């Protein structure tokens, strides 16, 4: 079984980690917990649990069992479990991990729900456009052609687009599929370059930055709270971010800490990434020896800020999209009505 290709949904991961946490806190041995989960497990969850059970019987620690499934359990989670096993605090850390996975799911759901409205509006617009081109335009164009009316350019464009769809439907579908496969192939071979271009867009860049910082500080909280040393935590947390400039900043911070400097000092040199308030909270955490708690506070605050930013942006985007769609549909209707009005006027004048 190729374990490196097995995935789990976020909800399945949350259920598994949550059950481990609950049953271990109740004093139930880990092997009995796996057996209990196996009774109702299906699909990839069952495959993972069977593998974990076999490894546990052989005496392997839980983090080794999890590390076989990199698409189900990321490096941060595996190293958190490893550190907690070594410190004998697995039952406590699993609860924290479960809570953080749940927060991450809620955060992702907020992002998805914020983006759902523009997507629905776009789908509705495309459906209306298709109906006009396939149903309305052919009937109107037949009348215009029979009466030999001199049509304005926008109307001729609509009639041309309608004829192209109706008379070349198969070719059009082949062309669309070809474009789709071309984009997919290009994305696979130039994924980093395309994503880099996407992430440099003004609005998208700001949102991605907020998401990255939330993930970074949340991961740092979990890692430090489980006993991972700060340099290793920075190395692992670097993998959870998307933007390369943020990853490089984290890498620089790791090098600075290895050289004997404080984390807050390294962050101060990248104020374009880390805000002054964030740096002050990190500095206070270093002073009081509660850096892990400070990281958790920052991640909660960033979570709220990104959710608020998304909500505000979508609230502003909704009327702009409606206005844009209305102008396009209205322009199409005017292109249809204007020749009819001109024809009626000429008949009335005659």
Residue 266: is it exposed, middle or buried by C-beta count within 10 angstroms (0-12/13-18/19+)?
A: buried
Q: Do 252 and 333 belong together in one domain?
A: yes
Domain assignment present for residue 214? The answer is: yes
Reduced to 3 states (helix: H, G, I; strand: E, B; else coil), residue 289 is: coil
Domain assignment present for residue 79? The answer is: no
Closest by alpha carbon to 295, among 212, 241, 238, 218? 218
Q: What is the pLDDT of residues 310-343, one digit of tens each?
A: 778 777 777 887 888 788 878 877 877 777 776 6
Identity of the highest mean pLDDT range in 15-19, 215-219, 253-257? 253-257
Q: Do 277 and 157 belong together in one domain?
A: yes
Q: What is the mean pLDDT of the segment spanning 24-30?
A: 85
User: What is the model's pLDDT at position 88?
Assistant: 78
User: What is the model's pLDDT at position 279?
Assistant: 92
The C-alpha atoms of residue 36 and residue 39 are separated, in whole angstroms, by 6
Block residue for tokens 């900043």: 249
The C-alpha atoms of residue 147 and residue 163 are separated, in whole angstroms, by 18
Of all residues in the chain, the percent with pLDDT exceeding 90 is 11
Q: Is the pTM of this model over 0.75?
A: no
Give Cα 107 to chain centroid, integer Å: 10
Domain assignment present for residue 88? The answer is: no
Q: What is the pLDDT of residues 260-310, one digit of tens each?
A: 999 999 999 888 889 889 999 999 999 998 998 999 899 888 888 887 887
DSSP 158-204: HHHHHHHHHHSHHHHHHHHHHHHHHHHHHHHHSHHHHHHHHHTSHHH
Domain assignment present for residue 335? The answer is: yes
> If residue 57 lies in a helix (H) or strand (E), which one and from where to where?
helix 43-57
Q: Do 64 and 99 belong together in one domain?
A: no
Domain assignment present for residue 266? The answer is: yes
User: What is the model's pLDDT at position 136?
Assistant: 80
User: What is the model's pLDDT at position 191?
Assistant: 65
DSSP 92-121: HHHHHHHHHHHHHHHHHHHHHHHHHHHHHH
When pLDDT is cut at 50, 70 and 90, the band that residue 1 belongs to is: low
The C-alpha atoms of residue 91 and residue 333 are separated, in whole angstroms, by 65
Q: Do 191 and 52 belong together in one domain?
A: no
Domain assignment present for residue 103? The answer is: yes
Q: What is the pLDDT of residues 148-174, one digit of tens each?
A: 767 777 778 888 888 888 887 788 788
* Average pLDDT of every residue of the chain: 82
Structural domain that includes position 44: 3-73
Closest by alpha carbon to 156, among 168, 145, 170? 145
When pLDDT is cut at 50, 70 and 90, the band that residue 256 belongs to is: very high
Domain assignment present for residue 265? The answer is: yes
Domain assignment present for residue 81? The answer is: no
Please say if the pLDDT value at position 345 is more than 70: no
User: What is the model's pLDDT at position 195?
Assistant: 65
- Cβ atoms of 233 and 216 within 8 Å: the answer is no
User: What is the model's pLDDT at position 192?
Assistant: 66
Q: What is the mean pLDDT of the segment spanning 100-125?
A: 76
């Amino acid at each position: 079984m190729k374990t490196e290709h097995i995935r789990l949904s976020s909800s399945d991961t949350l259920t598994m980690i949550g059950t481990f946490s609950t049953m271990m806190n109740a004093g139930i041995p880990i092997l009995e917990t796996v057996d209990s989960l196996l009774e109702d497990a299906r699909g990839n969850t069952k495959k993972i649990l069977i593998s974990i059970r076999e490894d546990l019987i052989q005496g392997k620690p839980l983090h080794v069992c999890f590390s076989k499934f990199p698409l189900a359990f990321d490096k941060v989670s595996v190293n958190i479990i490893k550190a907690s096993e070594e410190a004998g605090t697995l039952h406590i850390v699993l609860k924290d991990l479960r809570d953080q996975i749940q927060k991450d799911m809620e955060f992702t759901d907020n992002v998805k729900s914020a983006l759902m409205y523009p997507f629905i509006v776009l789908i509705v617009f495309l459906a209306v456009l298709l109906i006009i081109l396939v149903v309305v335009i052919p009937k109107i164009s037949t009348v215009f052609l029979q009466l030999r009316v001199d049509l304005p350019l926008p109307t001729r464009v609509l009639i041309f687009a309608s004829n192209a769809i109706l008379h070349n439907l198969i070719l059009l579908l082949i062309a669309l599929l070809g474009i789709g496969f071309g984009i997919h192939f290009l994305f696979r071979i130039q994924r980093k370059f395309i994503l880099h271009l996407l992430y440099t867009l003004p609005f998208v860049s700001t949102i991605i930055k907020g998401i990255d910082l939330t993930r970074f500080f949340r991961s740092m909280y979990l890692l430090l709270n489980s006993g991972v040393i700060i340099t290793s935590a920075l190395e692992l947390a670097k993998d959870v971010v998307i933007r390369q400039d943020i990853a490089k900043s984290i890498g620089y911070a790791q090098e600075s800490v290895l050289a004997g400097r404080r984390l807050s000092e390294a962050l101060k040199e990248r104020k374009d990434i880390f805000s002054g308030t964030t740096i002050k909270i990190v500095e206070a955490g270093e002073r009081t020896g509660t850096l892990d708690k400070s990281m958790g506070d920052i991640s909660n605050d960033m979570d709220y800020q990104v959710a608020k930013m998304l909500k505000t942006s979508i609230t502003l985007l909704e009327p702009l999209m409606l206005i844009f769609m209305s102008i396009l549909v209205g322009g199409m209707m005017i292109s249809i009505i204007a020749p009819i009005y001109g024809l009626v006027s000429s008949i009335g004048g005659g």
